[in-house]
A and B are shown apart, each in its own frame.
Chain A
Amino acid sequence: MNTALKSRDVEVFTEAVATYFERTTRKKATVRSAYLLESRDPFPLSDFTGTITLSGRFRGIVCFTAPRVLLHHVLMMTGESDHSDLAHCDLIGEIANQFAGQARRHFGGGLEISPPALLMGHAHVIPRLASNYPFVLPLTWHGYEGSLIVHMEASH
């Protein structure tokens, strides 16, 4: 079985985020050019981050990180009146939850997916895989920028 990571494996996560914004707010998100995060560079975490951890056929993490203002605007556009930190965390968790559904559809069985973990603030260290560099895919929605980070490798 070939378990090498392909570009399509990364695209499914960009589609998950783009679809989330389009269906939830009716405004499209634009995914810009991806870049590789070098080993000395920290993960570009923003105010809120939602992460899922993968194990099994592939291992690693997929996360979406966004500034408070982006999430605040999504909450407003969906009619949410609760604008607390809790609501922002809940929202970024729901976005990360889309990754789980998309990963399940795309990769099929043999993949364990953790429930979304939520991080607030920039001062978090996310463990690196030894064999490759994380992909960072900046995304613009309604003039605000968030990032999708895909850091996965095939398990041996």
Chain B
Amino acid sequence: MRQRLLIVDDSMTTRNRIARVITDPRLAGLHIVGQARDGAEALQLARTHQPDVVTMDLTMPTMDGAECICALIEMLPDVRILVVSALSDKLTAIRVLKRGAHGFLQKPFEDRQLVDTMIEAIHL
């Protein structure tokens, strides 16, 4: 069964890049249902599209990624969340993993790193 992916990042070029990398054949089980610029927009899209997988930036306006992770898990308890962020110190990583994220990828990333981390995070 194909899994629905929501991309959340305040950078348009990063959202577009993730969308391109997701076309890798090893991620053929994923299809993109939406792209959000912040946590608030992500929650709106999540209500509509019920994503199975979310890539989540942390530093965003309106609602940041850490807050959004908690709200998403409350709304969709089975959602798998991969954090993709430049804030990659240990404390930040531990904090978001404790909140329920399933993986952490540091920006900047290579395309293959995103594919590998995604596969690991969502058990494709």
Contacts of B86 in A (CB 8 A): 97-98, 100-102
Of the candidates B13, B92, B113, the one whose C-beta lies within 8 Å of that of A75 is: B13
Contacts of A124 in B (CB 8 A): none
Q: Chain B: interface residue count, which band?
A: 20 to 34
Q: Are B11 and A104 in contact (CB under 8 A)?
A: no
Could you mark each residue 3-16 of chain B with 1 if its beta carbon is under 8 Å from any beta carbon of chain A, else 0? 00000000111101
Q: Are B12 and A100 in contact (CB under 8 A)?
A: no
Q: Is A156 in the interface zone, CB < 8 Å from B?
A: no
Q: Is A125 in the interface zone, CB < 8 Å from B?
A: no
Contacts of A91 in B (CB 8 A): 13
Q: Is B33 in the interface zone, CB < 8 Å from A?
A: no
Contact A24 B12, CB 8 Å, known A79-B17, A105-B88: no
Contact A23 B17, CB 8 Å, known A100-B87, A104-B89: no
Q: Are B20 and A23 in contact (CB under 8 A)?
A: no
Q: Is A86 in the interface zone, CB < 8 Å from B?
A: yes
How far, in angstroms, from A101 to B92 measured CA to CA in the complex?
Answer: 10
Could you mark each residue 60-73 of chain B with 1 if its beta carbon is under 8 Å from any beta carbon of chain A, else 0? 01000000000000
Binding site for B on A (CB under 8 A): 19-20, 23-24, 26, 75, 78-82, 86-87, 90-91, 93-94, 97-98, 100-102, 104-105, 115
Instruction: Identify the 6 closest CB pairs spanning chains A and B, nearest first.
Output: A101-B86, A23-B108, A20-B108, A105-B89, A90-B13, A90-B12
Given contact pairs A23-B113, A78-B17, A80-B13, enumerate 5 new A-B contacts (beta carbons under 8 Å).
A80-B16, A94-B107, A97-B11, A98-B107, A98-B108
